[in-house]
Amino acid sequence: MECDVNRIVSYVSCYSSLIATREEAGNLFTRFVDELQSTLPPDRWRKVKEEPRIDSIQSYTYADQESDAHIDMDLIALADSYMVRIFGWTATNPRV
C-alpha cells in the first residue's frame, strides 16, 4: 500500500496496488476494516457510515467522537481492476 502524508492540511491517503479480482479486493478491504476496528479505541471511535461513496462499491467511515477526526475506507472498481483506498484526516476544530 502506498501512502502520502500532507502535514500542512493534516491528512494521510493510502492506495493499494491494483487487484485483478473483486473477490481478492473484497478480502483485502475486509482485512483492513477488521484491523482498523481492532486497533481503534471503541469508546472514542465508531463506524458512522457504510453507504458506498461516489466511485466506490463498498465504503466505511469511522469518526473520533472527541475530535471529529475521520477515516474513510473505500473499495473502488476501475476499468479492469480494483483498488482499496484509505483516507484519514484530523479535525479542523477539535472539541475541548
Q: Distance between CA atoms of 57 and 68, rounded to whole angstroms?
A: 25
pLDDT band, very low/low/confident/very high, at 3 (cuts 50, 70, 90) = confident
> Quick one: how many helices (H) and strands (E) in the chain?
1, 6
Who has greater pLDDT, 39 or 94?
A: 39
> For 43, phi and psi rounded to 5 degrees?
-75, -15
Predicted pLDDT of residue 93: 47
Question: 25 and 37 in contact (C-beta within 8 Å)?
Answer: no
Q: Answer whether 53's CB lies under 8 Å from 59's CB.
A: yes
> Over the stretch 18-70, which tens digit does the pLDDT of each residue have?
999 999 999 999 999 999 889 999 899 988 878 888 889 999 999 998 887 99
Q: Look at phi and psi of residue 61 and say left if phi exceeds 0, alpha if psi is from -120 to 50, else beta.
A: beta
